């Protein structure tokens, strides 16, 4: 049980131990700061894994939640929900989509997106076209279909036969995608920027080339913007940066600002198979969730907000690049777009995250030896200065550890 080494020193818990949790708990949050139960304050550049896009305790979100909480929480999708119709229309007006379906999580959004793509072809008389081309290093969730789509053996093994219908290509390799297209292919499912995979940004032309391939072969382009969506990259959705429109898109994380909410969206054409009775959810889009989603959009779509995220993201990236120059033995690379940034380490990303936490700063490990910096989108100069300070001290600590181990003299 090497994965759970840390739990040996922690008091037992009745939570199923699928996580190796850090032994810290938080009592409250304000803006970009979290207060631990021992009173210490942490700078939060994880934002609950890109969820708390407006930070903690944002007054507009808190008020929206409380106001709606007093009125009505839940009614079911057997009835019209005006708050949901309003949020869907606002998302449609601001995006490529014609329709929105609200869910409770990223994985549920992906399931809906995958079903929509399959049903499109089935409704056109081609039920055999159910396969999606996906990519190495992808992460699409933890349900049976989404672990198969993600393709990570660590998540697949031991859970029975792998769900059929996913063919993997190396991320960014358009020739490999071409080679995988066959008579059963329904579409391509891709993160415009891989999140869990390590903030991997594909070559600039990749998404455009995928779009062209899809058009040529009658395939649907399905984007997973669960992490990159809702303003994270300085656009409402990351594909806007790449000048490409999808047919179907799944999002979640930031959309509820911390309230569990997701959505999948589709053009009229790609969604044409999803008629009455084909899909549903009990909780998805309930009035309480919709109040939070509408409140998030009030802020994210306010004039200038997204431009500001893009601008601040550039500033943060520059400061991180300077930090890399100062600590070349620790930091190998800075990458990403907007406030979706990755810091690739030479040493160990897990060790880096621990060192940052010792400086009371939260960052999130990802694949490819990267830690993710996903600050609340409201973070600014003050928080960036704090972050660079703390990350600098974390780098110094790692350098001191390297020197003590005698590995510091190699270069
Ligand atoms: C987090 C994430 C998911 C899964 O979301 P859950 O809410 O955990 O189900 C899917 N895709 C991407 C790109 C993600 O970052």
Q: Average pLDDT, stretch 13-33? A: 96
In a domain, 19, yes or no: yes
> To the nearest whole number, what is the mean pLDDT of the chain?
96
Same domain, 276 and 197: yes
Same domain, 92 and 36: no
Q: Which domain holds residue 79?
A: 72-300
Q: How far is the CA of 225 from the centre of ligand 1 (A)?
A: 9
Q: What's the confidence (pLDDT) of residue 3?
A: 42
Residue with more model confidence, 107 or 204: 107
Alpha-carbon span 283 to 274, nearest angstrom: 19
Q: How far is the CA of 253 from the centre of ligand 1 (A)?
A: 7
Same domain, 123 and 161: yes
- DSSP run (H or E) holding 224: strand 220-225
Alpha-carbon span 9 to 82, nearest angstrom: 50
- Picking from 278, 300, 322, the residue at the C-terminal end of a domain is 300
Which segments of 246-360 are extended strands (E)? 248-251, 262-266, 331-337, 340-345
- Around ligand 1, the residues with Cβ closer than 6 Å are 105-107, 110, 139-141, 191, 195-196, 224, 226-227, 252-253
Q: Per-residue pLDDT tens for 186-221? A: 999 999 999 999 999 999 899 999 999 999 999 999
Considering the entire predicted model, what is its pTM? 0.96
Q: Where are the alpha helices (DSSP H) in 94-133?
A: 106-123
- Where residue 411 falls among pLDDT bands split at 50, 70, 90? very low
In a domain, 65, yes or no: no
Q: What's the confidence (pLDDT) of residue 10?
A: 73
- Where residue 2 falls among pLDDT bands split at 50, 70, 90? very low
Most informative mutation of 47, 48, 106 for ligand 1 (most atoms within 8 A of CB): 106
Length of the chain as a residue count: 411
Q: What's the confidence (pLDDT) of residue 7?
A: 45
Same domain, 42 and 110: no
Does residue 383 contact residue 312 with C-beta atoms inside 8 Å?
A: no
Closest atom of ligand 1 to CA, residue 196: 15
- Where residue 406 falls among pLDDT bands split at 50, 70, 90? confident
Count of structural domains, the chain: 2
Alpha-carbon span 76 to 283, nearest angstrom: 7
In a domain, 165, yes or no: yes
Q: How far is the CA of 140 from the centre of ligand 1 (A)?
A: 5
Q: Average pLDDT, stretch 161-179? A: 98
Same domain, 224 and 137: yes
Q: Is the pLDDT confidence value at 277 over 50?
A: yes
- Picking from 261, 284, 300, the residue at the C-terminal end of a domain is 300
Q: What's the confidence (pLDDT) of residue 11?
A: 78
Q: Average pLDDT, stretch 301-329? A: 98
Q: Per-residue pLDDT tens for 87-100? A: 999 999 999 999 99
CATH of the domain at 138: 3.40.640.10
- Where residue 8 falls among pLDDT bands split at 50, 70, 90? low
In a domain, 2, yes or no: no
Q: Is the pLDDT confidence value at 4 over 80?
A: no
Same domain, 369 and 253: no
Q: Where are the alpha helices (DSSP H) in 14-81?
A: 47-50, 59-71
Alpha-carbon span 312 to 380, nearest angstrom: 7
- Where residue 407 falls among pLDDT bands split at 50, 70, 90? low
- For residue 347, what are its two tokens? 């040493």
Alpha-carbon span 385 to 379, nearest angstrom: 10
Alpha-carbon span 317 to 57, nearest angstrom: 26
């Amino acid at each position: 049980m090497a994965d759970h080494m840390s739990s040996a020193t922690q008091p037992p818990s009745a939570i199923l131990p699928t996580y190796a949790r850090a032994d810290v708990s938080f009592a409250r949050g304000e803006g970009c700061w979290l207060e631990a139960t021992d009173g210490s304050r942490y700078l939060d550049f994880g934002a609950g894994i890109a969820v708390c896009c407006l930070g903690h305790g944002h007054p507009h979100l808190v008020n929206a939640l409380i106001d709606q909480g007093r009125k009505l929480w839940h009614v079911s999708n057997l009835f019209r929900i005006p708050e949901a119709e309003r949020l869907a229309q606002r998302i449609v007006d601001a995006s490529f989509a014609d329709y929105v379906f609200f869910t409770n999580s990223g994985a549920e959004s992906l399931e809906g997106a995958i079903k929509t793509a399959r049903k499109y072809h089935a409704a056109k008389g081609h039920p055999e076209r159910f396969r999606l081309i996906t990519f190495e290093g992808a992460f699409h969730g933890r349900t049976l279909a989404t672990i198969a789509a993600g393709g990570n053996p660590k998540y697949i093994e031991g859970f029975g036969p792998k769900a059929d219908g996913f063919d993997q290509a190396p991320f960014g390799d358009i020739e490999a995608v071409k080679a995988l297209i066959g008579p059963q292919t329904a579409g391509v499912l891709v993160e415009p920027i891989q999140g869990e995979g390590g903030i991997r940004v594909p070559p600039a032309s990749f998404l455009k080339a995928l779009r062209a391939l899809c058009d040529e072969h009658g395939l649907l382009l399905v984007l997973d913007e669960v992490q990159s969506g809702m303003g994270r990259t300085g656009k409402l959705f990351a594909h806007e940066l790449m000048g490409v429109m999808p047919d179907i898109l799944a999002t979640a994380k930031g959309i509820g600002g911390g309230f569990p909410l997701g959505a999948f969206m589709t053009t009229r054409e790609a969604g044409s198979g999803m008629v009455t009775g084909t899909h549903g959810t009990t909780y998805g889009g309930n009035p309480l969730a919709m109040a939070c989603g509408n409140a998030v959009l009030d802020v994210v779509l306010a004039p200038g907000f997204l431009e500001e995220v893009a601008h601040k993201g550039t500033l943060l990236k520059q400061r991180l690049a300077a930090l890399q120059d100062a600590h070349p033995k620790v930091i190998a690379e800075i990458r990403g777009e907007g406030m979706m940034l990755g810091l690739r380490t030479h040493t160990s990303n897990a060790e880096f995250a621990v060192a940052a936490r010792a400086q009371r700063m939260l960052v999130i490990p990802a694949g490819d030896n990267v830690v993710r910096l996903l600050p609340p989108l409201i973070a600014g100069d003050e928080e960036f200065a704090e972050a660079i300070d703390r990350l600098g001290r974390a780098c110094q600590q790692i350098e001191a550890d390297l020197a003590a181990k005698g590995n510091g003299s190699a270069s």
